[in-house]
Amino acid sequence: MKRWSVGRLTLHVAIGVAAWSAAALVCLCVGSTGVHWPSSGEMIFRRESVIVASLVGAALAAAGAAYQAVLRNPLADPYLLGASSGAALAAYIWRLPALTGILALGGAAAVEAGQEAFAFAGALAAIAVVLAITTTRSGARRLDPVTLLLVGVIVNAFNGSIYLLLNAMHKDMPGAGGEIGLLVGGIGHVTRLQLVCAAFFIVVSCATLLGLSGPLTAAALSEPEAFALGVRIHLLRWVALSAASLATAAAVAISGPIAFVGLICPHIARRLVGPDQRRLFPASVAAGAILLALADAASRGLAQQHLLGSELQVGILTGLLGGPFFLVLLMEGSGQ
């Protein structure tokens, strides 16, 4: 495996940033009032929406690329593996009335940092449960893709049931997000503190995964080949899973569990730049930011009065796009 210079890696990151910038300019022109360059008032709303959507999309795509490499499973995705629902449930639990005393003592910064910490713990716990059950069920070192997905669906359903139960018991809780909160995510208004906290954790996790892109390329091979290349596969697996879960948690804490972005974007990037993670990871992150920003712009465009008249949750659009995409991948895999 050839070594990469810092300049070459920087070039791929710069190309991704340039592609996202072009897409972001297009998204700024789309709103519920029509397609045009926004006024000053519209710019404030659309700019925040584009930034939040891009951050969330980049985080979910980064997590998906890492999960697929570490698990050597092209169907791995934060939503399908239960990480998103685990993070959403834990973030919701953090805001339960029983913890209001802790929230009051810590102040606003502690509230947001605590929510991110709880979401991270929830995502990591969900992944750990899925991996533990799958490994026990398959009885093999290589995780069976079908078993992994089935266990992920079960964990998702279990987390959703707990969420709905808690939501029924605490309907008046501020920031609850409603019963739909765990079903489809959306891009809404976030405070500056929420945005800064989420951006910090997303940048840290993405930088970590970018730094691990070389070993992750080896990890996508068989374990003996990875060991032969000097990769400490077990340590790498848990560091990458932790960083990917942190990115998922930070995204879910401000948007809810948006489906299939982490599944679609790495596959799009793989078709464009190949399987090498040093090229694939920056391309996946850029694709995630672009895809969710475009989906958010589409939801605003559909809110025009002569169309739907109301804005759809962006998770509905990604679900409509990702469902058929997932089925195609599943059929391609079963046909091999």
Report, as an integer, the average pLDDT of 170-176: 55
> Residue 86 in contact with residue 134, Cβ under 8 Å?
no
Q: Phi, psi (5° rounding) for residue 285?
A: -60, -45
Give the amino acid at 183. L
As a whole-number percent, the residues of the chain with pLDDT over 70 amount to: 84
CA torsion sign for 318, 321, 327, 330 is negative
Selected residue with higher pLDDT from 325 and 219: 325
Report, as an integer, the average pLDDT of 107-123: 75
* Residue 35: its H or E element: strand 34-35
Distances (CA, A) of 34 to 118, 162, 185, 255, 278: 40, 40, 24, 25, 39
Q: Is 80 exceeded by the pLDDT of residue 119?
A: yes
Q: Give the tens place of pLDDT for each residue, 58-113.
A: 999 999 999 998 888 888 888 888 888 898 888 888 877 766 566 656 666 666 66
3-state secondary structure 173-230: CCCCCCHHHHCCCCCCCCCHHHHHHHHHHHHHHHHHHHHCHHHHHHHCCCHHHHHHCC
pLDDT of residue 54: 96
pLDDT band per the 50, 70, 90 thresholds, residue 176: very low
Selected residue with higher pLDDT from 146 and 117: 117
pLDDT band per the 50, 70, 90 thresholds, residue 171: low
Q: Is 60 exceeded by the pLDDT of residue 202?
A: yes
Q: Is 60 exceeded by the pLDDT of residue 173?
A: no
- How far is it, in rounded angstroms, from Cα 87 to Cα 156? 11
Answer whether CATH 3.40.50.460 is correct for domain 50-183+191-334: no
Mean pLDDT, all residues of the chain: 83
Q: List all residues 6 or more positions away from 100 whose beta carbon is below 8 Å from its beta carbon.
A: none
pLDDT band per the 50, 70, 90 thresholds, residue 138: low
- How far is it, in rounded angstroms, from Cα 36 to Cα 114? 40
pLDDT of residue 40: 86
pLDDT band per the 50, 70, 90 thresholds, residue 206: very high
- How far is it, in rounded angstroms, from Cα 33 to Cα 52? 20
pLDDT band per the 50, 70, 90 thresholds, residue 25: very high
Question: How big is the CA angle at 219 (ends 214 and 225), to the nearest 5 degrees?
Answer: 105
pLDDT band per the 50, 70, 90 thresholds, residue 153: confident
Length of the chain: 336
- How far is it, in rounded angstroms, from Cα 259 to Cα 35? 27
pLDDT of residue 335: 47
Task: Choose the weakest-confidence range: 96-100, 115-119, 183-187, 188-192.
Answer: 96-100
Q: Is 60 exceeded by the pLDDT of residue 162?
A: yes
**Exposed, middle or buried: residue 103 (CB in 10 Å: 0-12, 13-18, 19+)?**
middle
Task: Choose the weakest-confidence range: 73-82, 225-234, 256-265.
Answer: 225-234
pLDDT of residue 175: 47
CA torsion sign for 60, 55, 272, 301 is positive
pLDDT of residue 218: 81
Q: Is 90 exceeded by the pLDDT of residue 292?
A: yes
Domain boundaries, the chain: 50-183+191-334
- How far is it, in rounded angstroms, from Cα 108 to Cα 83? 26
Task: Choose the weakest-confidence range: 231-240, 247-256, 261-270.
Answer: 231-240
Report, as an integer, the average pLDDT of 306-318: 78
pLDDT band per the 50, 70, 90 thresholds, residue 20: very high
